[in-house]
Structure 1
Amino acid sequence: MTDAVEFKATLTRYLKARVPFISIRSTERARVLDILREVAGNLSAPFYVHTLSQGTRELATGRVVNEDRSVIGAVDFASQQMAQRQNLSFVLTEVSDMEDDTASSRQLIDVVMLAADHGGSLVVVTSKPIFGQLQRLGMSAQLSAPNEDEMAAIIREQIDPYRGQFVIEWDDQDVARAAAILAGVSRLEAENIIATLLVNGRISKADMVELMSAKDRIFADISGIERVSVRSAEMTVGGLGGLKAWLQRERPLLTADLRERGIRPPRGVLLVGVPGCGKSLSAKAIAHDWQLPLYRLDLSTIHGQYLGQSEGRLKEALATADHVAPCVLWIDEIEKGLAGAGGNGDGGTSTRLVGQFLYWLQEARTRVFVVATANDVSRLPPELLRRGRFDELFFVDLPTAEERRDIIGIYARRGLQEGVLEEALLDELVEMSDGFAGSDLESAVREVVKEAYLRGDGVVNDELFRRSFQNVVPLSRTAPEQIEGIRAWGRERAVPASGEPIGSGITPATRPRRAVLA
């Protein structure tokens, strides 16, 4: 049973039972009225609907019964009719100021009491909370955005009539994938997106990328999370073979229909480990490889000065992520945003944020793939590490010799005209860079690239590379105890992202004296 069918059945029961007050939570007024029109056709009781543009009219025929277009006029008209006639149903679509004990709420309570005495129903369509005393007089129903089954039917309604007129490359599998992409948008928004594809005179499989972009533009101005632009030229990640293999296996599950199997789509990974070893870059690479939009949630900006403000901001941000799904949600240095859980320094705010985030992480069924990174593992809340939160916990260690070779080659090819290094030099640089993080390798090669730009590519030689690498003092040299502490934590709790045992192939070496680049 789809969500719309279930909503229609629930609404029919409420109206047949003559529940005096029915609140419908939805942002799709037109879709709600279409369903109400179907329900009213099966019931003998008269239905009236009010909108600001057309006043009060019969729901079935559209005939105007009260020309006063104001909400106050509509409520007064409903009150008069309820007092004189039996079994009337009034639908209000533009009522505001119902969240608290206000004059509007009190007036609606009076109308509901009249409806209860005369077998009527007052139906309110809104996307906001309703004053508790008013809501307790009746029942509520929620019409969510079309689910994947409904979205697939909407897509077919739009494209099937054109199959004989021009090329439609989408088969049933493509329609299902498109439905998964568009899940979370309204029916009207989906129809608009498909219409923009149809005007091209064909629909190809490559249009899936445009679907994601179109959905992204719909939610581009929604607050809570930041859209991150991903440039293809920077998305090559060296090493991390274990992480890459796991991601390749999980990728098809993100858009597959897993409901019959009773499992949820992949929820995400937590990347912990040595700073500067590619955790943040991995989040960008995943979004690029999976052709999904990337959004960044900065938990440090969530905290507010007023009670409940932080929780409200986090709820809004996570709801935004649900709306823009499927997507990759990057949470950088998650330990900083959730630090303090269990303490009393912030009045329990951090503890409540952790609870709210973990509940969403475990219970939400939207296709949001979370990539969270952490450097200071000692500050991670224990609840975050429990199985069932993230799909996997990976430890990103200092790159091994083979990974360093890969990373040096990537940066050299990206920045230098003669980007292919000789094997002998590459072997020497790999040995010199023992203990380097990925960011250290990038910094060393960047110095060579700078010199090539400032003085010409002719200055690039083996000695320039050697001096550049000698001038890097990595964290593994300045704070070896910190690195070993991080590794000891990872050995007990995490899967190595490289596919090799944590700490393997990395040995301390004597550092040569730093040299000034000439």
Structure 2
Amino acid sequence: MTDYDDTQRLVRSGARVLHIASFEWERVRGWCIALARDLGVPLYAWSFSSGLLSIDEEGNTRVEHEAMEDPIEAMLELRSAEQGGVMVLEDIHPYLEQHHQVTRWVREMCRIGSDPPRVLVLSTPQPGLPGELHKEVPSIDLPLPGIDDLAVVAEQVAERQGVRYEGDEALLEAARGLTVMEARLAFGQAAHERGRLDASAVTLVVREKERVIRQSQVLEYYEPNARMSDVGGLENLKTWLDRRGRAFGPGAREFGLDAPKGVLLLGVQGCGKSLVAKAIAAAWQFPLLRFDMGKVFGGIVGQSEGNIRAALQVAQALAPCVLWIDEIEKGLAGMGSSDQTDGGTTARVVGTFLTWMQEKNDPVFVVATANRIEMLPPELLRKGRFDEIFFVDLPTRDVRKEIVSIHLRKKGRDPSEFDLDALANQSLGYSGAELEEAVREGLFEAFAEGRGLCTEHIAKALEETFPLSRTMREQIDQLRRWAKVRARLASPEAPEPLEADGGEAAVPRLRQESRNPFIPGGRG
């Protein structure tokens, strides 16, 4: 059953007013044309700029009342139409938010008779209706265009610009996740630059898609530039991912496997969690979307809920894909007190996301990373949201050797020319990011001296680095205790105990950690 079939079923079940949320006015009109045709009644469209129009089955319009600027007048016109009809009120959301009279008349239209059929369609670019209409008006989110719709757009662009269109499937796949208007612009640019629409235009369409997705300010389209071989250690996680990746292959559904949901990576900062997300997308050859939950929240009523739905809709349209949510705990902060602080917006946004995680059937693999477990709501950690929760710890001695080797090879050096054992012994408690920075700093030092990079340069950089594990030793120990019983370990090796810090004087304190010298009865 298609989404249009659901719309038709609602009308035949007695719905007199429908709400369709979409930026794509052409497709909304297309649905309304089909609905009017199936009901055997005329179609009308109203907007503030055009007044009242009548629309035939081909989509041609005729002005009925150009000066009609009041949506209430349009509703009265439908109410009195002897033949019945379908009327779409385009961009009606400002009137619903600011004019109680309009909302009242919409409720009145919910109660008109069914003979002849009269259907009012509220068209808005974003989801969300005033609370007074929630119980009487069903809302429908128009899905993003599929391959067939995009093929129609490509044919129109090719005909308009007089270029050849070969119906290339890769070209249409590249445009998935775009609206009709965005796809038309992307195809138009490709046709202008290439002089044809075929496989050679795929990179141009992808470039435009990156711009469009970035413009949403909630999602970013990443070109996966990391390989799983760039990730040091984490063998348990790599094995698990290899098996999960096969579930996206041929025969998996027939075998009875569900599409994998995703993985939650908890652990110490700088230990490769984000790198793993990029490597997964590259290994599986999936598009990579970075989802910034902090940017979901907007100041306009209903904007936050609309942003989360739009982001998830794009991810589903691009499926199969990897949806990467970095430091997810920051986006979920404040959920518990949401009803007192933001009218429940955070709770609703998080609830929408968690429900989507639980119910989604599309092959969207979610990779979420987190550094602070205490900020994660229990609802996120229960089974059914993610396939598995892995704990990513500080690298052990052998893994540190592997990480240094990886970064030396990236810089065009032969790891066998360096004393990796000495560097690994010196770097107990260092994260992968700190080891990478030591190699970079060693290169700067060697270049300044006019010499080739050697072990001593990296060793000096390590010596001058104060690793995060020393200032956050208590937090890391707490993380390890939590993960021991609540998560799977990403590495098979047992974690190495951290060095004693040598007393309080050895640990530099942040400004907010400094003792207060004005405590009565003794010095701070």
Compute the TM-score of the two structures, normalised by the length of structure 1.
Answer: 0.74
Q: Is the 8 A contact 2:358 2:385 kept in 1?
A: yes
For the 8 Å contact 2:78–2:87, the answer to whether it is kept is no
Match in the other structure for 1:3: 3
Partner of 2:53: 56
Quick one: which amino acid aligns to residue 448 of structure 1? G
State yes or no: 1:321 paired with 2:316.
no
Distance 1:248 1:108, change over 3 A: same
Q: 1:20–1:121: 8 Å Cα contact kept in structure 2?
A: yes
Confirm whether residue 381 of structure 1 aligns to residue 377 of structure 2. yes
Q: Which residue of 1 aligns with 2:434?
A: 440
Q: 1:229-268 CA distances to partner (integer Å, 9 max, x unpaired)?
A: 6684899333323333433444466698988888764333
2: CA distance between counterparts of 1:116 and 1:157? 38
What does the per-residue CA deviation read over 1:88-129, in whole Å, with 9 as the maximum and x for residues that have no partner? 54443354412465233345566777x539745142331254
Deviation, 1:487, is 2.4
Deviates more, 1:445-454 or 1:80-89: 80-89
- Matched length: 483
| From 457, 460, 477, the counterpart of 1:464 | 457
1:403 equivalent to 2:399? Answer yes
* Deviation sequence 1:328-384 (CA, Å, 0-9, x none): 444443345545665799669677665454333323455554332223334433332
Greater Cα shift, 334-343 or 403-412: 334-343
Judge conservation of contact 1:267–1:390 (CA < 8 Å) in 2: yes
> How far apart, CA to CA, are the structure 2 residues paired with 1:195 and 1:257?
38
**1:296 Cα shift?**
4.3
Deviates further, 104-113 or 238-247:
104-113
Decide which of 274, 279, 301 is 1:280's aligned counterpart.
Answer: 274
- The answer for the alignment partner of 1:247 in structure 2 is 241
Change (3 A) 1:139 1:319: closer
Letter in 1 for 2:2: T
Equivalent of residue 125 in structure 1, options 107, 118, 122: 122
Q: Which runs of 5+ in 2 are unaligned?
A: 507-524
Q: How far 1:407 sits from its partner (Å)? A: 1.2
Paired AA for residue 480 in structure 2: R
Q: CA deviation at 1:471?
A: 3.6
Q: What is the one-letter code of the residue matched to 2:485?
A: E
CA 1:249/1:316 → structure 2, altered by over 3 Å: closer, same or farther? Answer: farther
Q: Cα 1:398–1:135, aligned 2, differ >3 Å: closer, same or farther?
A: closer
Go from structure 1 to structure 2 and tell me whether the alpha carbon gap of 1:391 and 1:213 turns closer, same or farther (over 3 Å shift). farther
Q: What letter is aligned with 1:362?
A: Q
The one-character-per-residue Cα deviations of 1:21-71 (angstroms, maximum 9, x if unpaired) are 444444333223223333433444444333543742253475746242433
1:36-55 counterparts in 2 under 5 A?
Answer: 36-51=32-47, 52-53=49-50, 55=52
Q: Which amino acid aligns with 1:497?
A: A
TM-score between both structures, scaled by the size of structure 2: 0.73
Residue 78 of structure 1: how far off its partner (Å): 6.0
Q: Identify which of 185, 198, 206 aligns with 1:203.
A: 198
Which residue is equivalent to 1:491? Answer: 484
User: In the aligned structure 1, how far is the partner of 2:225 from the partner of 2:138?
Assistant: 48
The 3 A distance-change label for structure 1 pair 119 and 20 is farther
Equivalent runs, 1:87-486 vs 2, <5 Å = 87-95=84-92, 96-99=94-97, 102-107=100-105, 116=113, 119=116, 121-127=118-124, 129-130=128-129, 140=138, 142=140, 144-146=142-144, 151-157=146-152, 170=168, 179=173, 182-190=175-183, 192-194=185-187, 200=194, 201=196, 203-204=198-199, 211-223=205-217, 225=218, 227=220, 232=225, 236-251=230-245, 265-287=259-281, 290=285, 292-297=287-292, 299=294, 315-325=305-315, 326=318, 328-339=322-333, 355-365=351-361, 368-415=364-411, 419-422=413-416, 425-458=419-452, 460-476=453-469, 480=473, 482-486=475-479
> Match for 2:33: what amino acid?
R
Letter aligned with residue 97 of structure 1: Y
Whether the 8 Å CA contact 2:224–2:287 is kept in 1: the answer is no
**1:9 shift after superposition:** 4.8
In structure 2, relative to structure 1, the CA distance for the partners of 1:403 and 1:32 (3 Å cut) is same
Tell me which moved more, 234-243 or 422-431: 234-243
State whether residues 186 and 204 of structure 2, in contact with CA within 8 Å, keep that contact through their aligned partners in structure 1: no
Equivalent-residue separation in structure 2 for 1:464 and 1:321 (angstroms)? 46
RMSD: 4.6
- Assess, with a 3 A threshold, how the Cα gap between structure 1 residues 4 and 249 changes in structure 2: closer, same or farther: farther
1:34 aligns with 2:24: no
Q: Secondary structure of the equivalent of 2:215?
A: coil
Contact 1:78 1:111 in 2 (8 A): yes
The alignment-based identity, stated in percent, is: 31
Letter in 2 for 1:358: L
